[in-house]
Amino acid sequence: MRRKLVVGNWKMNGSLDQNRLLLEALVRHLDEVKQVDIAVCLPYPYLFQAQAILAASDIAWGAQNVATHEGGAYTGEVSAAMLKEFGSTYVIVGHSERNGAYCESDADVASKFAIAKQHGITPIFCVGETLQERESGVMEYAIANQLDAILSVSGGALLDQTVIAYEPVWAIGTNKTATPEQVRAAHSFIRERIAALHPGAAESVRILYGGSVNPRNASQLLSMPDVDGGLIGRCALDADDFERICRAA
């Protein structure tokens, strides 16, 4: 039985003052929500603040990216070991905003996934098709290609206890949510694809839906078969919205 997981992706938002208010509100309102795992992935500089405020709660925290190398002359990068030092449980890898704007390749994402696992951090690996891919009927092909970059290098053991986020690119930040049926179909395709290559891992991998989830659509989307929770962008920046989504899950 997979526990539901709701993760807030704060993206490049926040300040020490805003974060304190938001994190303290989450602790006050969500610490009693025991039936679902909850986490926030925030900008690197605020990991220390998250650790200080969330450590005594059941809310986990993590980052939105990680370096492909262990350390050394990689200006501007942050290693998995550093994330671990600040108590990170999760790290998002392969978010479409990074693939597009920072030219991350499938191979880069596979390395980030593997290095996170080696350091005991759970990668949240994002996959999803563009609008053009959906409209031209190659949605499954596009997702399979993204998945195979991980499945072919990681092996079943590395996949165990990891998280995949299905995030159709056209639904992120757009208010265009995938329909419950589109979400169900994509999630079941992803699980079947994993099962075909690594039957042992398929049942333990949690598959989150992300893309314009809000308090009004959360309960329908997150209760679809094969949906194990959500990756939440904009609504994770509002304590009330995020709380309502977590409770809906």
Kindly state the tokens that stand for 102. 């920072």
State the minimum distance, in angstroms, from the CB of residue 217 to ligand PEP: 11
Nearer to ligand PEP, 150 or 208 (CB): 208
State the minimum distance, in angstroms, from the CB of residue 7 to ligand PEP: 9
Is 211 a binding residue for ligand PEP by CB under 6 A? The answer is yes
Kindly state the tokens that stand for 7. 């993760």
Is 128 a binding residue for ligand PEP by CB under 6 A? The answer is no
119 in catalytic set = no
Is 232 a binding residue for ligand PEP by CB under 6 A? The answer is yes
Kindly state the tokens that stand for 58. 């059941």
Residue ranges of the binding site for substrate:
9-11, 173, 212
State the minimum distance, in angstroms, from the CB of residue 24 to ligand PEP: 22
Is 168 a binding residue for ligand PEP by CB under 6 A? The answer is no
Residues of this chain, 38-77, that bind ligand PEP according to CB under 6 A: none
Element (H, E) at 248: helix 239-248
Stretch of 35-43, 109-117, 135-143, 228-236 contacting ligand PEP, by CB under 6 A: 228-236
Spatial contact of 217 and 236, defined as CB atoms under 8 Å apart: no
Is 173 a binding residue for ligand PEP by CB under 6 A? The answer is yes
The binder of ligand PEP chosen from 233, 244, 246, 248 (CB under 6 A): 233
Is 146 a binding residue for ligand PEP by CB under 6 A? The answer is no
Is 190 a binding residue for ligand PEP by CB under 6 A? The answer is no
Kindly state the tokens that stand for 84. 């671990």
Is 127 a binding residue for ligand PEP by CB under 6 A? The answer is no
Residue ranges of the binding site:
9-11, 173, 212
Residue 33 in 3-state DSSP? Answer: coil
Q: CA angle at residue 209 from 243 to 120, to 5 degrees?
A: 85
Angle subtended by helix axes 106-118 and 139-159, to nearest 10 = 20
Cα 182 to Cα 112, 178, 229, 237, distances in angstroms:
28, 6, 15, 26
Is 99 a binding residue for ligand PEP by CB under 6 A? The answer is no
167 in catalytic set = yes
How does 90-118 read in b/e, with b if 16+ C-beta sit within 10 Å?
A: bbbbbbbbbbeeeebebebbbbbbbbbbe
State the minimum distance, in angstroms, from the CB of residue 161 to ligand PEP: 21
Handedness of CA 237, 8, 18, 14 (dihedral sign): negative
Among 58, 46, 35, 55, smallest CA distance to 10 is for: 46
Helices then strands (H, E): number in the chain? 11, 8
Q: Which residues are paired to 93 by β-bridges? A: 125
The binder of ligand PEP chosen from 38, 42, 212, 243 (CB under 6 A): 212
List contacts with ligand PEP (CB under 6 A).
Answer: 9, 167, 172-173, 210-213, 231-234
The residues assigned a catalytic role are 95, 167
